[in-house]
Amino acid sequence: MTLSTNPERDPWFRLVVIMTVVALLVMMGFDALYRDRPKAAANPSQTQAPMSMAPGGSGNSSMTPEQMAAIHRASMEAFPARTAGLGGQVRKPSIQRGVRIFRLMAMPIQWEVTPGQFVTAWAYNNQVPGPEIRVHRGDRIKVILTNHLPEPTVIHWHGVTVPNAMDGVPYVTQDPVMPGGSFTYEFTVVDSPGTYLYHSHFDSTTQVAQGLYGSFVIEPSNASWDVEYTEIVNDGALGYTINGKGWPATTPLVARLGQRVLVRLANVGQMLHPLPLHGYHFTVVDQDGFPLRRPYEADTLVVAPGETYDVVVKADHPGVWALHCHILSHVEGPEGMFGMATALIVQ
């Protein structure tokens, strides 16, 4: 094919010119990008600030080894530290004509995450997480939500089978509950025994992050364990927390030697959290409220946002055994342990 040198008479010539210009511009752009790019540092910490969402901070390069050791020791010896408020307290219902009635009030509060560290949380009934609601399969329940927040809200029953009108999705299944208003959720519990969640589904990246969530437990008729704990992790406005608290204010799991311990693990945050229990393998018996046909053993579970697991630990060797997120920037820094960590104490 012969190209004309007159671009007005030969469209192929114009196309070749355009493509040549584009290629030159692209090459010049890549060259400038490469030339202006910062050179890689020998140590990534020179260009990346450490992650921090809770006490522990960004470290202090001016500390001596002795100072760092002393701070780490103080962090460990402070556990379990006392703070105001305790979340996830079991909420006992009133009973009227065979219906179990729970009342939840959503409101802003001042919440002490670690000793002396207060944040503005949004809470159900003045606690983060909200009250643990415990029911049995076949129970008829009502949950009366009253909104004392500065914006609308709703409650979604995460993983729970409910009538569509009770699902708690604004403008899909209900209008949101305006400030000063209330709404009554009514349904019969039909799911298998296990661990479920309830949480806000309005402006949820704000409301759940600030504390509007809780556990919904369907109890079995016969428990095969001696003691149980619910551990809900979050990574929102309160920092990296377990049950609304950061180390050293998290609550330990305490068991006597030989006891079977059920641990209900749940994640209401927006990140994956791998949770190992030092010194033990546990048996995973339930996921998202579904009993496993084939329980399995593990020492770490990666709990995704919205997931729940029930695990059983045989407390067969004494000591203090750490339970924490294994994304280490969520639990430890140059200034010691913080955030998403607690411990199993076997006595």
Tracing tokens 């029930």 back to the chain, one arrives at 310
Domain boundaries of the chain, sorted by first residue: 94-346
Task: Find the mean pLDDT for residues 289-300.
Answer: 96
Q: Over 60: is that where the pLDDT of 31 sits?
A: no
What integer pLDDT is reported at residue 227 of this predicted model? 98
Share of the chain above pLDDT 70, in %: 82
pLDDT for residue 45 = 28
- What pLDDT is attached to residue 63? 86
Q: With the C-alpha atoms ordered 277, 282, 288, 294, is the resulting torsion angle positive or negative?
A: positive
CA distance 205 to 122: 12
What average pLDDT does the segment 197-220 reach?
98
Instruction: Give the model confidence (pLDDT) of 77-96 as tens digits.
Output: 999 999 999 999 998 999 99
Average model confidence (pLDDT) across the chain: 88
44 pLDDT above the threshold of 60: no
pLDDT of residue 18: 58
Report pLDDT for 20: 59
Q: What's the average model confidence in pLDDT over 140-166?
A: 98
> Average pLDDT, stretch 267-276?
98
Give the residue with greater pLDDT, 63 vs 204.
204
Residue 23 pLDDT: 56
- At 62 the pLDDT is 81
How large is the average pLDDT for residues 132-146?
98
The mean pLDDT of 95-99, rounded to a whole number, is 97
Tell me the CA end-to-end span of the chain in Å, nearest whole number. 90
Residues 287 and 218: beta-carbon distance below 8 Å? no
Q: Whole-model pTM?
A: 0.82
* Strand bridging mode 336-337 / 290-298: unpaired
Q: Give the range among 6-10, 17-21, 197-201 with minimum mean pLDDT.
A: 6-10
DSSP for residue 71: H
The Cα–Cα gap between 27 and 248 comes to 55
Q: Which residues are CB-neighbours of 167 under 8 A, at least 6 positions away?
A: 156, 157, 173, 174
Residue 316 has pLDDT above 60, yes or no: yes
Architecture of the CATH domain 94-346: Sandwich (2.60)
Among 34-43, 121-130, 163-172, 295-304, the least confident range: 34-43
pLDDT in tens, 52-82: 444 545 555 688 999 999 999 999 999 999 9
Q: Reply yes or no on whether the pLDDT at 24 is more than 80.
A: no
Name the 3-class secondary structure at 165. Answer: helix
Mean pLDDT to the nearest integer, 205-231: 96
Instruction: Answer yes or no: is pLDDT of 214 > 50.
Output: yes
CA proximity to 319, closest of 271, 280, 284: 280
Q: Under a CB-based contact definition with an 8 Å cutoff, are residues 274 and 245 in contact?
A: no
What span, in angstroms and rounded, lies between the C-alpha atoms of 195 and 286?
Answer: 8
Average pLDDT over residues 260-287: 98
Q: How many residues does the chain have?
A: 347
Q: Is pLDDT at 100 greater than 80 in this prediction?
A: yes
Picking from 34-38, 103-107, 193-197, 310-314, which range would have the lowest pLDDT averaged per residue? Answer: 34-38
Average pLDDT of span 143-171: 98
- Residue 15: in which H helix or E strand, if any? helix 11-36
Is pLDDT at 174 greater than 70 in this prediction? yes
Sequence-distant (6+) residues with CB within 8 A of 290 are: 192, 194
pLDDT score recorded for residue 48? 31
Q: Residue 113 in contact with residue 246, Cβ under 8 Å? A: yes
Structure confidence at residue 335 (pLDDT)? 87
Does the structure show a pLDDT above 60 at 46?
no
Per the CB < 8 A criterion, the answer to whether 158 and 117 are in contact is: no
